[in-house]
Structure 1
Amino acid sequence: MSAMASSAAGEIRDVKLSDALSERYLSYALSTIMARSLPDVRDGLKPVHRRLLYAMRQLKLDPSSGFKKSARVVGDVIGKFHPHGDQAIYDALVRLAQDFSLRFPLIDGQGNFGNVDGDNAAAMRYTEARLTEVAAALLNGIDEDAVDFRPTYDGEAEEPAVLPAAFPNLLANGAQGIAVGMATSIPPHNVGEICDALLHVIKTPNATVEKLVDLMPGPDFPTGGILVEARENILEAYKTGKGSFRLRARWESEKIKGGGYQIVVTEIPFQVQKSRLIEKIAELLIAKKLAMLADIRDESTDEIRLVLEPKSRNVDPDVLMESLFRQTDLETRASLNMNVLNADNTPKVMNLREVLRAFLDHRHDVLKRQTLFRLGKIEHRLEVLEGYLIAYLNIDEVIRIIREEDDPKARMIKRWKLSDIQAEAILNMRLRALRKLEEISIREEHTALTKEQKDLKGLMKNEGRRWSIIGDQVKEIRSQFGSKTDLGARRTEIGAPPSGVIVPLEAVVEREPVTVLCSGMGWVRSLKGHQEDVTDAKYKEGDRERFVVHAQTTDKLLVFATNGRFYTLGVDKLPGGRGFGEPLRLMTGLPNDQDIVGLLVHEPGRRLMVASSDGRGFIVPEDEVIAQTKNGKQILNLAQGAEAAVCSAVDGDHVAVIGENRKLIIFPLEELPEMTRGRGVILQKYKDGGLSDAKTFYLADGLSWAAGAGRTRTETDLSAWVGKRSQAGRLPPNGFARSNKFS
């Protein structure tokens, strides 16, 4: 018992948790990268797809044969090669059969294999499958020792490590995969163009990517569409192996009765579900985010036909479509990340030339292996034929030995110096083969095989001739699947980048009046209509009213914060009036330790005065403060310990500044510079404290301030306070607000 315990204890090892985790996670990561998620650059397949095609070949589901139930295929794949879930394998099979998912389907499906609306395929017991001609080209030569085989998961059989791949599947059908710490995304391309590029690489091994892009101008998606990416971006993507392509739906304008028109979408971007696209457009219509669109109808049959009705015949169709492209999946981006496994099973991001070169090198290896395999077969057959010829020359003696000798095989080997293979072949000859005609045909076959053997040996010594044969194979693929065939004709149009169609906000958002409320704690909401009395508006406990502005849903809201940054929000993006709204901090990049200084509706062409708590400021054109990102735009640079304190529209010819020390200074507006960003100039000097408030006004109208209870007071005799910018000032007029604020 103690010996058993000791033996068991010997298996226990003390290992750091971090070491154990890293070792196990690395094993999982390598398994995911090499055996699941990344395609092989040579045949463009992941293991599950390769196993599917090989299992179907073993079932003799060739393009010319009949169909078999998909369940039978899935069962064979699970039992022999791929011990995973049946639904996962069936999903992979279904995708290989969908002509809207694969540019060149590898499986010919019979039954319901789903549709572009996103509907699922029927259960595997209902559908049937067989290989396509493309899959046959991928498998061609697999019985001729063209590729390596490895044991299956249970060791009972063997499976190909890669397919011979006479078809450039990686670029033709593309690939998608997410591994551990890396991913791949390759869009489909046109085989005719790929073959042109391959032939150019054979002719010019150091071909430039620019020339290859001339031959392969961009992806070719099964669902068509229009590629509107700039050529320089496409070129950069193929040079680096990483990038993206802008893809738009194809549409046309149709005239209808009454002089109006409707827009018909006939092709949608790749991997966009039509039903989900229609739902999204309908949601935007209900939310009044598509002010120019009246309705959408789906009139699709086997071909896509989405009908878009404009609200008015005066709506410009280009502007309407541009607004849809910006807000819906009628425009998408197809990413390119050519991260693939090379011949050494190592993941690598390749550029276009490297991918084409890897495919050609694989085809070169396949050709050499097939040639050696054929030479071996010829050598074996010639040996057998030479034995037959010896037998024909000595037929009577052969018959006597077979009839009389106890060990005819050994006797014949000794008598005519035959090999074991030759003696066995003679013993297995049929009597009908003893005819004179058979001898003649054997001599003819021997001559032909000898000639072929010499030719193949010459091929193995001549690399240039091998590349010529590979070029012929590429040309054969081009003629079978290229641009002149129905399957290979280009579907995606290579268009120009969109011209600068200006989409007014009114085209996207329906213009409606709203009242924007922002509380002291920064909770914002919008109420319908321009409401003058908002005293009944409710706020969170401890919160209060702070900003109330009238706006339109097409307006932009400017938020100036204590960090000197301006944040921009679309009024249409604000939450409705029910409840307390949403925190402005969540809608912008406003930090938690900063507060709101000003909130106003953007008016193009207007000027703003901004100032900091240390008494510095300037005038900035309002068009310059619009922020394009959520993080806002820095306008007022701040000194250590200072913060932004004032933001007000410029309306006047003089500036009034009052400090925390209750000193007032007035100076001409022309003394304040106009800048787009900076710290500004000194408005008022302080011994203690800082700036409290500032405003612009017309000197002739007098200076006004809030006097409480909704009243204002105005002082017109201001000569005592008018001076130069950066002076200290003097105490304000009697009755000035105790808050030290003008409003």
Structure 2
Amino acid sequence: MGKDLIPPGSDGGDAIEPVDLKKALEERYLAYALSTIMHRALPDVRDGLKPVHRRIVHTMRLLRLSPDQGFAKCARIVGDVMGKFHPHGDQSIYDALVRLAQPFAMRYPLVDGQGNFGNIDGDNAAAMRYTEARMTEVAVEILSGITEDAVDFRLTYNEEDEEPTVLPGAFPNLLCNGSSGIAVGMATSIPPHNAAEICDAALAIIDTPDVEEDKLLEFVKGPDFPTGGIIVEDQASIREAYATGRGGFRVRARWHKEDQGRGTWNAVVTEIPYGVQKSRLIEKIAELIIARRLPLLEDIRDESAEDIRIVLVPKSRTVEAEILMESVFKLTDLESRFPLNMNVLSRGKVPGVMSLKQVLREWLDHRRDVLLRRSRHRLAEIERRLEILSGYLIAYLNIDEVIRIIREEDEPKQVMMTRFNLTDTQAEAILNMRLRALRKLEEFEIRTEFDKLSEEKAGIEALLASTERQWKTVRWEVAKVRQTFDPEKNPGLGARRTTFADAPTHDLEEVHEALIEREPITVVLSEKGWLRAMKGHLSDYSSLSFKEGDGLKLAFPAQTTDKILLFTTGGKFYTLGADRLPGGRGHGEPVRIMVDMENDQAIVTAFAHDPERKLLVASHLGNGFVVAEKEIIANTRKGKQVVNVKAPDEAQICVPVTGDHVAIVGQNRKLLVFPLAEVPEMGRGKGVRLQRYKDGGVSDIKTFAMEQGLSWQDSAERTFVKSREELAEWIGARASAGRMTPKGFPRTGKFG
């Protein structure tokens, strides 16, 4: 083995260099992160493009694929992009190219595609060997001026070619076409907007540089998605989103009610939210119908051709269309939220979240830079031409002498330069002149061109000297773009597709009920607090089975759409959805698993919620009040404290209020009847004393209409009714002791 082949610093062994792992990881991960942020995921604020898109557009320009030329195979374009500028996978380049051509993905496509470029159902484009493409007018706008030193170029990855670091961007592409990407530790998400609106906002900034953000929102109402839809976000959050660069927009599908005759109807969806795959959306809705999560919906059909047409068939004609659609919006992607996170590369270098005004400001500054660079480039061209023209003029005036020098002298260039005081460039131009040009070389023509260029030169110099003129020119350029995308002159491309509306404020209860299939059930609660829901309305409860040592406490009929209320000895009400109750197989589940109930409390009663009803609640010591049932709904597992009780007192009675009088019986078997009006209605509290006891507490309470009399059942299930006259001695004031119960009153002390 030759000595020069042995690795350094070893005796022929392995040259191992120790590296600090933490430091190495930090350095390498940071390098990867920066590369992802700068060269892959975030768009440049100036032209709104990521490197791959910029390279595709630049390559198409080099291939001369302008809108008035023919198409070229996408494989050719992708090959050139990959070979010259973008050393990554051909499929990723082709995917980026396809997206630039999809009218449902791009509000203003940069590529005009021929062939199968995929569809809104999420089907892929055909292979690149089958499809063809060329640039659109929008892409030409973005490139305009690139040959006039408008932007910087840098060497490509293999240093064989040059590529633009940014495009001139006469079209406000970042906001008009939007962008999304995930980098390392940051992401971007910008929805598409309407070009005419963006240009109007830009013009407002040129006219009034310190214009308020709110003023800009008079022009930019919100995103304008290629797929249309309706934005139902409120104005305040839209304003907040554009002012901070972060937020989101709720987008709903556009639908209408289509009459089918004989009172039947269908809901027809014609536009779906941006970025939603139609086929996946329909699959999801079909799955929900099968799972019975959308009980108001019978069927869904996709009748789309070129345009979208999704037909939703309701279960019955009595279903309210708005409620049906609210239930579908709630559970499916027919309503989706598009996030706004304007995280972009400022000046192509610094990533940061910008507001609407900052983004437009940077774009306008870039447009001014491009204008200045193009003007200087043109100025240099004019100066070169003027120099040559003045040389031609001298040659024309001395044409015979010039011809003689060229014919006779060995070094005609030097002689001419000395003889006529010409510059090297002028002499070279005269020598390079074709003979046939001698005929055309007329003084008048030369002078005309000279004067014309001198005038243009003066104009450019004046422009470069005046900031005011520069902004005037930028304004004229932006106004020209606005004219191209004017909604009135070019409605196909320019008219706004996404509209705005307030989300219908339907009662959440109605929507929630609409999501549950209405079925009859029987709610069963055992003595030990086990709860279940049996299917159907049971008439005989004797067949119900319970765990050993447990038995039936109460059972009552309900519907799956009902709310079930539980009242405990601690004075709390808990709310459970009847559709969420465990099924009738087995013994159900303990209530304590479903709600956060204290261990020392027990359930007093349970019943189906009726929002129109009022309840009379009372504690063992005889304090009580009336509460409206709609006030006691609890939205959390913790329940709602309604009756305030302190141990040893506890809540004991909860009865629905009917009629105009209250009958109360104590454990001392004393009965008191008094007007219901004497009991206050409250939302929460201890209540007022209903009956006075020396010891013991309340046994039972009943509310009744005095006209019909007070009734009760004894143990033999005989019914007793006492009229006002018969109750005379028991009628008294609230909080008095009452008198011993009349003959025939049940020994249990309950009204039965």
Which residue of 2 is the match for residue 425 of structure 1? 429
Which residue of 1 is the match for residue 579 of structure 2? 572
Q: 2:458 aligns with which of 450, 454, 458?
A: 454
Cα 1:436–1:66 change in 2 (3 A) is closer
Cα shift at 1:29? 2.6
Post-superposition Cα deviations, 1:482-515, rounded to whole Å, max 9, x if no partner, equal: 2130333434353431343343655332210235
Cα shift at 1:549? 7.2
Tell me, what secondary structure is at the counterpart of 2:422? coil
C-alpha distance in 2, partners of 1:123/1:593?
67
Equivalent residues of 2:570, 2:645 under 8 A apart:
no
Cα shift at 1:148? 1.8
Q: 2:78 aligns with which of 67, 74, 93?
A: 74
Which residue of 2 is the match for residue 496 of structure 1? 501
The yes-or-no answer on 1:234 pairing with 2:238 is yes
C-alpha distance in 2, partners of 1:591/1:74?
66
Cα shift at 1:651? 8.8
Cα 1:281–1:458 change in 2 (3 A) is same
Which residue of 2 is the match for residue 552 of structure 1? 559
Equivalent residues of 1:609, 1:646 under 8 A apart:
no
Cα 1:149–1:289 change in 2 (3 A) is same
Identity %, equivalent residues: 55
Cα shift at 1:449? 1.3
Equivalent residues of 1:514, 1:527 under 8 A apart:
yes
Tell me, what secondary structure is at the counterpart of 1:332? strand
Post-superposition Cα deviations, 1:119-151, rounded to whole Å, max 9, x if no partner, equal: 221122211111100111011111111112222
Cα 1:307–1:147 change in 2 (3 A) is same
The two structures have a TM-score, normalised by structure 1, of 0.78
Which residue of 1 is the match for residue 520 of structure 2? 513
Cα shift at 1:386? 2.6
Tell me, what secondary structure is at the counterpart of 2:377? helix
Post-superposition Cα deviations, 1:707-743, rounded to whole Å, max 9, x if no partner, equal: xxxxxxxxxxxxxxxxx9xxxxxxxxxx99xxxxxxx
Alignment of 1:331-370 (within 5 A): 331-343=335-347, 345-370=349-374
C-alpha distance in 2, partners of 1:76/1:593?
75
Structure 1 residue runs of 5 or longer lacking an equivalent are 659-665, 683-692, 705-723, 725-734, 737-743
Tell me, what secondary structure is at the counterpart of 1:362? helix
C-alpha distance in 2, partners of 1:24/1:410?
61
C-alpha distance in 1, partners of 2:570/2:379?
80
Cα 1:536–1:197 change in 2 (3 A) is same
User: Greater CA deviation, 323-332 or 395-404?
Assistant: 395-404
Which residue of 1 is the match for residue 380 of structure 2? 376
Cα shift at 1:647? 11
Post-superposition Cα deviations, 1:441-467, rounded to whole Å, max 9, x if no partner, equal: 333322221111111001111222222
Cα 1:93–1:627 change in 2 (3 A) is farther
Which residue of 2 is the match for residue 31 of structure 1? 35
Cα 1:40–1:520 change in 2 (3 A) is farther
Which residue of 2 is the match for residue 12 of structure 1? 18
C-alpha distance in 2, partners of 1:238/1:488?
24
Aligned AA (2:20): D
Cα 1:320–1:365 change in 2 (3 A) is same
The yes-or-no answer on 1:255 pairing with 2:259 is yes
Alignment of 1:180-329 (within 5 A): 180-329=184-333
Alignment of 1:318-717 (within 5 A): 318-343=322-347, 345-437=349-441, 440-483=444-487, 484-492=489-497, 494-502=499-507, 503=510, 505-514=512-521, 528-530=535-537, 551-557=558-564, 569-573=576-580, 601-604=608-611, 622-628=629-635, 635=641
Aligned AA (1:12): P
Post-superposition Cα deviations, 1:78-125, rounded to whole Å, max 9, x if no partner, equal: 222222222222221111111111111111111111112222211222
Cα shift at 1:676? 5.4
C-alpha distance in 2, partners of 1:105/1:21?
41
Equivalent residues of 1:589, 1:631 under 8 A apart:
yes
The yes-or-no answer on 1:109 pairing with 2:113 is yes
C-alpha distance in 1, partners of 2:101/2:570?
58
Aligned AA (1:57): R
C-alpha distance in 2, partners of 1:403/1:563?
122
Which residue of 1 is the match for residue 179 of structure 2? 175
User: Greater CA deviation, 274-283 or 566-575?
Assistant: 566-575
Equivalent residues of 2:7, 2:14 under 8 A apart:
no
C-alpha distance in 1, partners of 2:427/2:601?
100
Cα 1:313–1:550 change in 2 (3 A) is closer
Cα shift at 1:308? 2.6
Equivalent residues of 1:561, 1:594 under 8 A apart:
no
Tell me, what secondary structure is at the counterpart of 1:53? helix
Aligned AA (2:369): D
Tell me, what secondary structure is at the counterpart of 2:64? coil
C-alpha distance in 2, partners of 1:544/1:83?
76
Which residue of 2 is the match for residue 137 of structure 1? 141
Tell me, what secondary structure is at the counterpart of 2:154? strand
Tell me, what secondary structure is at the counterpart of 1:386? helix
Aligned AA (1:333): R
C-alpha distance in 2, partners of 1:382/1:278?
68
Cα shift at 1:638? 12
The two structures have a TM-score, normalised by structure 2, of 0.78
Cα 1:536–1:639 change in 2 (3 A) is closer
Tell me, what secondary structure is at the counterpart of 1:278? helix
Equivalent residues of 1:650, 1:696 under 8 A apart:
no
Equivalent residues of 2:560, 2:578 under 8 A apart:
yes
C-alpha distance in 2, partners of 1:311/1:179?
46
Tell me, what secondary structure is at the counterpart of 1:215? coil
C-alpha distance in 2, partners of 1:96/1:603?
57
**CA RMSD across the alignment:** 5.1
Cα shift at 1:344? 5.4
Which residue of 2 is the match for residue 739 of structure 1? none
C-alpha distance in 1, partners of 2:376/2:348?
22
Tell me, what secondary structure is at the counterpart of 1:184? strand
Q: 1:128 aligns with which of 103, 119, 132?
A: 132
C-alpha distance in 1, partners of 2:443/2:590?
97
Cα 1:524–1:129 change in 2 (3 A) is farther
Q: Which has the larger radius of gyration?
A: 2
Cα shift at 1:572? 3.3
C-alpha distance in 2, partners of 1:42/1:611?
72
Cα shift at 1:168? 1.1
Post-superposition Cα deviations, 1:134-180, rounded to whole Å, max 9, x if no partner, equal: 11101111111111222222222222221111111122112222223
Tell me, what secondary structure is at the counterpart of 1:4? coil
Count how many residue pairs are aligned between Structure 1 and Structure 2: 707
Equivalent residues of 2:573, 2:642 under 8 A apart:
no
Aligned AA (2:493): G
Structure 2 residue runs of 5 or longer lacking an equivalent are 1-5, 690-697, 705-709, 715-734, 736-746
Cα 1:136–1:553 change in 2 (3 A) is same
